[in-house]
Amino acid sequence: MSKKAFFHLPGLFEFHKLYSLFLPLFYEHHEYFYDWCEIGSIYGSPKDCLWGGGRVELGDADVNDVLALLKKYKVSPRFTFSNSLLTKEHLSDKSCNFLCKIFNQEASLSTGIIIHSDLLLNYLKAEFTNFYFISSTTKVLTNFEEFLKELDREEFKYIVPDFRLNKEFKKLDALSDKRKDKVEFLLNECCFYGCSDRKKCYEEVSRKNLGIFEGEYICTAPYIGEGYSFSRAMENPGFISVNDIMEKYLPMGFSNFKIEGRGLGSALVLEFLLYYMVKPQYHIHVREKIYLDNMLDLF
């Protein structure tokens, strides 16, 4: 395979403790990991981040601790600023601007912004010079022609399409190399494949983050009451397996893959990392290094 897979991992502020253990393993025991595997970034946002588009109740790691870990291992951070309902008055938010100021000064880290709002995009481009931008999956790009238009926007380095475009292999393979380099696939979505209200769901999260609770949207998708299940995600028609990456996407020329899971528990996120990045014979080694010992009781 001529390309490597760059994984974009969830929980920059949400799972700092997990990554403080996982990153040393990745960089010091690379024999545990697939040789075609690299860390492209870790994404997330601090708790109660106004510009955030989801999981705003999480992300309580100290900014200085996060920054120190990223600098030590030279990992690109990404901020999930994907709120779709921002207005001009929101652009002056002090905590978000302070966060941007700190990371804009760390040009060597190559900080990315996952973004939905063009209003925020234009503001950040004008105020901060060292960021790159990722078009958020919250735009729900299910129409391939609309996806192509988004790929051709020069302001975005990467585009995350809706997971229901993941298996459009004929159309995807026909993309130019330049376009392929910008595609970032969402791997492990558990959402109902036939959902027609996905954009409404994302808008509801944005609305709550802004403190607007009128006309609450209620999801009616199957299994909504059961929460996320990795086994069910694997049965989703849009799911991308590790074999799919090796046998289809990398040979086609794609190299960027996003693992979702900021709102889940760190144990489940670790299972995602094991599945996608770690050779099966070393799963136990990673578990032992992170949490498993011979005196651990489950019950």
What does the block give as tokens for 298?
């489950």
Q: What is the phi/psi pair of residue 89, to 5°? A: -65, -25
CB-facing half-sphere around the CA of 31: CA atoms within 13 A:
3
Backbone angles phi and psi of 114, in degrees to 5: -85, 120
CA–CA distances in Å: residue 108 to residues 14, 37, 45, 67, 287:
23, 22, 20, 12, 31
Residue 161: pLDDT above 70? yes
Cα 236 from Cα 164, distance rounded (Å): 10
Whether the per-residue pLDDT at 1 is higher than 60: the answer is no
Q: Higher-confidence residue: 140 or 194?
A: 140
DSSP 11-63: -TTTSHHHHHHHHHHHHH-GGGB-TTEEEEEEEE--TT-TT--S-TT---S-H
DSSP 128-141: -SSEEEEE-GGG--
Yes or no: say if 201 and 192 are a contact pair by the CB < 8 Å rule. Answer: no
pLDDT band at 149 (very low <50, low <70, confident <90, very high): very high
**Calpha distance 272→268 (Å, rounded):** 7
Across the chain, what does the average pLDDT equal?
93
Q: Is the pLDDT of residue 188 over 90?
A: yes
- pLDDT tens string 19-73: 999 999 999 999 999 999 999 999 999 987 899 876 556 778 999 999 999 999 9
Q: Is 113 helix (H, G, I), strand (E, B) or coil?
A: strand
The residue among 74 and 59 whose pLDDT is bigger is 74
pLDDT at 194: 82
pLDDT digits (tens, 9 = 90+) for 257-293: 999 999 899 999 999 999 999 999 999 999 999 999 9
* Strand 158-159, strand 131-135: pairing: parallel
pLDDT band at 212 (very low <50, low <70, confident <90, very high): confident
The encoded tokens of residue 160 equal 């995350």
Q: Which residues of 38-74 are buried (b: 16+ CB within 10 A; e: fewer)?
A: ebbbbbbbbeebbbbbbbbebbebeeeebeebbeeee
Query: Which amino acid, one-letter code, is at 203?
Result: E
pLDDT of residue 92: 96
Reported as a single tens digit per residue, the pLDDT across 76-131 is 999 999 999 999 999 999 999 999 999 999 988 999 999 999 999 999 999 999 99
Residue pLDDT, tens place only, 213-249: 776 767 777 777 778 899 999 999 999 999 999 999 9
pLDDT of residue 55: 57
- Pairing type for strands 5-10 and 184-186 reads unpaired
**What integer is the mean pLDDT of 187-203?**
85
Helices (H), the chain: 16-28, 63-73, 94-104, 118-127, 144-151, 169-173, 177-180, 198-209, 230-235, 242-244, 250-252, 266-277, 283-290
Mean pLDDT of 3-31: 96
- Supply the pLDDT for residue 6: 98
**Residue 203 confidence (pLDDT) above 80:** yes
